[in-house]
Amino acid sequence: MRLADTLRFARDAATGYPLRTALSVLAMSIGVAAVVILTALGDGARRYVVGQFSSIGTNLVIVLPGRSGTGGFNPANAITTTPRDLTIDDAAALRRASAVSRLAPLAVGTSEISFGGKLREVMVAGSTAEFIPIRNFELAQGSGLPEEDWNRGSPVAVIGAKIREELFGSEPAVGKLIRVGDRRLRVVGVLSSRGQGLGMNTDELVIVPVSLAQALFNSNTLFRILVEARSREAIPEAKEQVMEILKQRHRGEEDVTVITQDAVLATFDKLLGALTLGVAGIAAISLAVAGILVMNVMLVAVTQRTGEIGLLKALGATARTIRLAFLAEAAMLSTVGAIVGYLLGQLGAFGLRQAFPVFPAYPPDWAVIAGLSTALVTGLLFGVMPARQAARLDPVQALMKH
Amino acid sequence: MRENGRMSLIELQGIERVFQLGDTEVHALAALNLRIAAGEYVAVMGPSGSGKSTLLNLLGLLDRPNAGSYRLEGRDVTTLSPDEQARVRSERIGFVFQSFHLVPRLTAAENIALPMTLAGIPLKERSARVAKALTNFGLDNRADHRPDQLSGGQRQRVAIARATIMQPALILADEPTGNLDRHTGEEVVNLLEALNASGVTLVVVTHDPTMGARAQRQLVMEDGRLKFDSAHPSPATDAPG
């Protein structure tokens, strides 16, 4: 039989039993759609986190107090504080390091902010002039913190976009005096709105000079020191120098942890990449199930069409012709299922992106290719057995059953 | 090889066909010798279970004998591979069944074209030959009807058109009128006889004595043996029973 005829025959056979065809196409498409949507979710999460981390700054080396085990990045350190102290003088000493271009100490706490009778709780970040450029924040109005002695602490503040809106409404904010804790501070700048970032929501942040923040929280420790290396290549060197200087200052004890943004990024990238693979694997199980369903459907088809197979043999069809016809039908079911599933999956991912605009829920190419080819391969593989069974049927028996 | 001045189309010698039914062996065909010349019109009769259908399946290469030889057009076909047998069925043999055996999802025209489709004949030639067959069998305005939209007589006409579309040398008909009323049955028999008149060898299995009587030659089967052959009325030609 010619290829075009085989395909037409298989198509007619498939459309001749609409319910059974529709069900197996549905099963296959759900499998493929699951792969597409789940990997879109997984990869979206990965891209979201990686994107957020990149936006923290470039070529960052982060120093946190306390030693974490045997080294490497321990996620617990990102959220807990330790008894070991990092001080402003520690941070200032790091300016000596040749691989460091600029750095910003960071002290964090919460406090009350009030203006014109309005009062709310805010997160206060105590830092220096270079904090804003290192973290890639942008100013909507005014200027950043002044360049000054880190221990001086002028009574000024830079506020987040949402704080400005809540406290000042449509009035200008720059130049106004606000109260933060027990201090009166002058607003010198307003950050532009960035939405929810990783860790800190800059829209609801108040940035003040670091020594002022320490006085405010009645402590002289730092939460972090953000160090920017001169270049991407200088990151390991910067890390080493920072470690060395702090070790000297802490009487030879390595009581700080230095993590690089690259390492954090790579860890999250790996972690979430593995997660994506994991969900893809789970989704692939549904593809295998769909393949088995296609096999089942084809086995039923062989039984249903026993008489027809006998007839085809009587009319001169070879075993190969019959095998190909049934295989073509199985392939068709899984191809159509795969395409429908792909479209459904893309539609689902599109829906996700519409519902959560910040979340880049695009299925990765490898997942789409793997999903589609798994669908086709399982369809074909599970089509082989029914096709062989059909080809092996004894024509006399087959004709008598009709 | 020659009998009555004509070449033997079919030559069976010492054919045995044994089925295993539980512990017992059933001899569906035993010690069968038979020659059918090209262009003959043969009716095979006999009670149920006498081996008529087994004989027809064997002649149609749908079944293999346990012993003996079958020569079709001078060629030993029992030793052919399944694919070679399929090719012989495709090119030399046409089947007509009692229950028509049309593919329900295909139109009349597609059903008629099916043997050509399976044989890989190009679409253009198929269409031309199907159009001609539809005219010859009076099915012109039924070409796009599916089998369930056709009457019994029309269905069997489609089946006969399908059996002849590859221009076979031999047509095997198994109770072709069994599912038809007397009048349409008559029409179908006339059609088959017309085909025979044009030179095609016709072997019909039938229960119907009147239909059997219309054939040139009658074979009567009983318990897997040829009990009577009108071409050789003396029982001596048959294997000793």
My answer on whether A275 and A240 are in the same domain is: no
Reported as a single tens digit per residue, the pLDDT across B152-198 is 999 999 999 999 999 999 999 999 998 899 999 999 999 999 999 99
Longest dimension (CA), chain A: 102
pLDDT at B105 over 70: yes
Q: Which fold has domain B40-64+81-237?
A: Rossmann fold (3.40.50)
Q: A152 is written with which tokens?
A: 């001086």
A102 and A241 part of one domain: yes
- Does residue B48 sit at the A interface (CB-CB below 8 Å)? no
pLDDT in tens, B37-83: 999 999 999 998 899 989 999 999 999 999 999 999 999 999 999 99
Same domain, A135 and A230: yes
- Report whether B159 contacts B97 (CB < 8 A): yes
Mean pLDDT score across all residues of chain B: 90
A57-to-A60, A194, B20, B206 alpha-carbon distances in Å: 6, 14, 84, 93
Q: What is the pLDDT of residue A74?
A: 52
The answer to the question of residue A60 being in a domain is: no
User: Could you tell me the pLDDT band of residue A84, with boundaries at 50, 70 and 90?
Assistant: low
CB contact under 8 A, A9 and B117: yes
Q: Which residues of chain A are within 8 Å of residue B63 when distances are taken between CB atoms? A: 396
Helix and strand numbers, DSSP H then E, in chain A: 12, 10
Alpha-carbon distance A303 to B162, whole Å? 24
Helix A365-392 to helix A261-304 angle (10° resolution) is 20
Phi, psi of A88 (to 5 degrees): -60, -35
Judged by average pLDDT, the poorest of A65-79, A208-222, B147-161, B225-239 is: A65-79
A77 part of a folded domain: no
Task: Tell me which residue has tokens 């027990």.
Answer: A182
Name, in order, each residue with C-beta under 8 angstroms of B35's C-beta and a sequence gap of 6 or more.
Answer: B3, B8, B10, B11, B12
pLDDT tops 70 at residue A71:
no
Please determine, for residue B107, whether its predicted confidence score (pLDDT) is greater than 60: yes
Amino acid A209 reads P
Same domain flag for A160 and A189:
yes
Average pLDDT over residues A100-108: 91
Same-domain check for residues A120 and A210: yes
Q: Does residue A218 belong to any structural domain of this protein?
A: yes
Pick from A116, A105, A110, A122: which is nearest to A160 by CA?
A122
- Is B103 in Cβ contact with A308 (below 8 Å)? yes
Per-window interface: B 53-92 vs A, CB < 8 A: 57, 60, 62-63, 82-83, 86-87, 89-91
Show Cβ contacts of residue A315 under 8 Å, excluding neighbours closer than 6 positions: B89, B90, B95, B114, B115, B118, B162
pLDDT at A340 exceeding the cut of 70: yes
Q: Where are the alpha helices (DSSP H) in A57-141?
A: 88-93, 131-134
Of A193-207, B118-132, B212-226, least confident by mean pLDDT is: A193-207
Average pLDDT over residues A23-50: 88
User: How would you classify the pairing of strands B93-96 and B170-174?
Assistant: parallel
Does the structure show a pLDDT above 70 at B236? no
Which of A107-111, A313-317, A398-402, B14-18 shows the lowest per-residue confidence on average (mean pLDDT)? A398-402
Of A254, A280, A298, the position where a domain reaches its end is A254
Range of the domain at A193: 85-254
Do A129 and A249 reside in the same domain of the chain? Answer: yes
Q: What is the mean pLDDT of residues B15-29?
A: 89
Q: Which residues contact A186 (CB under 8 A, 6 or more apart)?
A: A155, A156, A157, A175, A176, A177, A178
Q: Which residues of B touch A20 (CB under 8 A)?
A: none
Mean pLDDT of A318-327: 91
Distance CA(B171)–CA(B176), nearest Å, equals: 11
Instruction: Say what percent of chain B tops pLDDT 90.
Output: 75
Token pair of A8 as six digits: 């037409």
CA nearest to B117 within chain A: A1
Instruction: Say whether A316 and B62 touch across the interface (CB within 8 A).
Output: no
CA atoms within 13 A on the CB side of B209: 1
Q: Do residues A201 and A120 share a domain?
A: yes
Distance CA A184, CA A136 (A): 27
Q: Are both A242 and A288 inside the same structural domain?
A: no
How many of the other CB atoms lie within 10 Å of CB of A158?
Answer: 27
Where residue A379 falls among pLDDT bands split at 50, 70, 90? confident
Claim to verify: residue A34 and residue A90 sit in the same structural domain:
no
Contacts of B175 in chain A (CB under 8 A): none
Answer with the one of A195, A222, A254 that is the final residue of a domain. A254
Cα-based distances in Å from A91 to A81, A85, A103, A106: 17, 11, 8, 9
In this complex, do A5 and B57 lie within 8 Å of one another by their Cβ atoms?
A: no
Where among A223, A254, A285 does a domain terminate? A254
Of residues A291 and B137, the one with the higher pLDDT is: B137
Put simply, the chain B residues between 15 and 44 with a CB less than 8 A from any chain A CB are: none
For an interface test with A, the pick among B52, B53, B57, B62 (most A C-beta atoms closer than 10 Å) comes out as B62
| In a shared domain, residues A135 and A219 | yes
Give all strands (DSSP E) within A230-302, no chain letters. Answer: 256-260
Question: Which of A2, A13, A395 is facing B120, going by the closest CB pair?
Answer: A2
Q: Which residue has the higher pLDDT, B115 or A262?
A: B115
pLDDT average, residue stretch A67-72: 52
Q: Domains in chain A: how many in total? A: 2
d(CA A284, CA A370): 9
Higher per-residue pLDDT: A296 or B95: B95
Rounded distance between C-alpha atoms, residue B192 and residue B164, angstroms: 10
Residue A380: the pLDDT is 84
pLDDT at residue A268 tops 70: yes
Model pLDDT for residues A166-213, shown as the tens digit of each residue = 899 888 889 999 999 889 999 999 998 876 555 567 888 999 999 999
CB B40 within 8 A of CB B30: no
Other residues' Cβ atoms within 10 Å of the Cβ of residue A63: 24
List the domain boundaries for chain B: 40-64+81-237
Q: From the list A13, A16, A314, which residue is nearest B62 (CB)?
A: A314
Could you tell me if A313 and A271 lie in one domain?
yes
Q: Check whether residue A18 and residue A139 sit in a common domain.
A: no
* Cβ <8 Å between B117 and A402: no
Task: Note the pLDDT of residue B3.
Answer: 46
**Measured distance between the N- and C-terminal CA atoms of chain B, rounded to whole angstroms:** 25
pLDDT by residue (tens digit) across A231-261?
Answer: 878 888 898 999 899 888 887 777 888 888 7
Of all residues in chain A, the percent with pLDDT exceeding 70 is 94
Q: What is the CA radius of gyration of chain A?
A: 33
Q: Per-residue pLDDT averaged across B217-234, rounded?
A: 89
- Chain A residue whose CA is closest to B90: A316
Average pLDDT, chain A: 85
